[in-house]
Structure 1
Amino acid sequence: MAAHPLALDLALTVRHDGHGGVADDLRDPDGLTEWVRERAATLPAVPDAARFTADAGTAEAVRALRAAVRALFARAVPGGPRPDGSEPPPGETALRRLNEAAAAAPAVPHLTWSEGAAPAAGWGPAGPASPRDALCAALARDAIAFLAGPDLARLRACHAPRCVRYFLKEHPRQEWCKPSCGNRARVARHHDRHRA
């Protein structure tokens, strides 16, 4: 299960590979299949997400949506990282891609209320949709909610050398997405001071 908002979790599927390059967790259908299945509980609008199987077209569509989300994150956090050395889609293209994906599989609110539990609101498909459309729509709707919500103010880009990640700032002094990035940044500063 995701420890972040789903939109941030999607953006984090692009990361530093530890060797100076960039790794993509969604580079192929198997990577996307694993990623979706691990987050099945956070994707109620995707029918049978726990047994989801991606194809090449779905993986490509999700990567395009991720590029739009990362472009919008970069717009929200000036100076943010570039995903893989390529230019992100322009802001209007990213907005259009996000909104089109959200509209591809309409969802409606529904109420669940198990015996002995509190009622819970959720979203479910309004009608039949392809697995690709259902997944992209669910991811896009989450990204829209995140970008228009209060957590956007805490979104930051990690500025450690070679890092391409975003994070939600948890405390005032947090500068990096994880401790290893902080260590890498301090080592780089140390080397820069001693080279001069």
Structure 2
Amino acid sequence: MQDVPTTDARLALDLALTLRHDGHGGVADDLTDLAGLTAWVRAHPQTAPDADGFVADEETLTAVRELRAAVRALFARAVRPGEPSPADAARLLPAPEALRRLNTAAARTPTVPVLHWDEGAEPVVRHQAAGAGEQLVAVLARAAIGFLAGPDRRRLRACHAPRCVRYFLKEHPRQEWCEPSCGNRARVARHHARHHKGG
């Protein structure tokens, strides 16, 4: 029976997987611009109450990209003694900085109490959502914290197939790659290396 990842695990992984191999030996980034973040949030309705109407701004894009860097650095720490994703190996944030970024992002309050007190009425507190960007960053950070502190973290692995930069949750004991296509690429690369060593 496969372990089903928690919602936190799925959302944290999905954020990390916005960096992926481009199929040509490089790294593609789904969050390079406002349209990319807008599309990603709309595809992940659990990130905001009105995700289908979400429109990214520069400040939110920067905050989400900084949070993603922290999450990927902590993923690299979580897969030890295994190697981190090749996309991260040369540019990992130091763990204390990654933790600071993650905790600061999680502390962004998605709602704030607002006091309403009309003349002749009792005071009423209504909770008003913070800006959509603040809420998005807080939700993503809290999902990453929930994942990293939870049981799914022990199944986290970095895929080391040629050109792959993804992290994944190990579903069964023999799983080595994030997808069957990565396993095929790794087998082809090993075969090529064995048959072209002395040539």
Q: TM-score, normalised by structure 2?
A: 0.82
**Residue 13 of structure 1 aligns with which residue?**
18
Q: How does 1:1-196 map to 2 (within 5 A)?
A: 5-40=10-45, 42-43=46-47, 46-78=48-80, 79-83=83-87, 87-106=91-110, 127-196=128-197
Measure, in 2, the Cα distance between the counterparts of 1:107 and 1:73: 28
Identity of aligned residues (%): 67
**1:38–1:76 distance in 2 versus 1, CA, 3 Å:** same
Superimposed CA distance per residue, residues 109-138 of structure 1 (whole angstroms, 9 cap, x where no aligned partner): xxxxxxxxxxxxxxxxx6431221110000
**1:88–1:10 distance in 2 versus 1, CA, 3 Å:** same
Superimposed CA distance per residue, residues 12-59 of structure 1 (whole angstroms, 9 cap, x where no aligned partner): 01000001100001111101101101111x22xx34122100012211
C-alpha deviation, 1:162, in angstroms: 1.8
Q: Is the 8 A contact 1:71 1:91 kept in 2?
A: yes
**Any idea what SS the aligned residue of 2:188 has?**
helix
Aligned length: 175
**1:85–1:146 distance in 2 versus 1, CA, 3 Å:** closer
Q: Is the 8 A contact 2:73 2:88 kept in 1?
A: no
**Residue 112 of structure 1 aligns with which residue?**
none
Measure, in 1, the Cα distance between the counterparts of 2:148 and 2:20: 21
Superimposed CA distance per residue, residues 37-91 of structure 1 (whole angstroms, 9 cap, x where no aligned partner): 1111x22xx3412210001221111011000000000001131114367512110
**1:85–1:29 distance in 2 versus 1, CA, 3 Å:** farther
**Any idea what SS the aligned residue of 1:94 has?**
helix
Q: Is the 8 A contact 2:86 2:164 kept in 1?
A: no
Q: Which runs of 5+ in 1 are unaligned?
A: 109-125
Measure, in 1, the Cα distance between the counterparts of 2:193 and 2:111: 52
Segments of 4+ moved more than 3 angstroms: 82-86
C-alpha deviation, 1:149, in angstroms: 0.4
CA root-mean-square deviation: 2.0
C-alpha deviation, 1:152, in angstroms: 0.4
Measure, in 1, the Cα distance between the counterparts of 2:196 and 2:156: 33
Q: Which runs of 5+ in 2 are unaligned?
A: 1-6, 113-126
Radius of gyration: which is bigger?
2
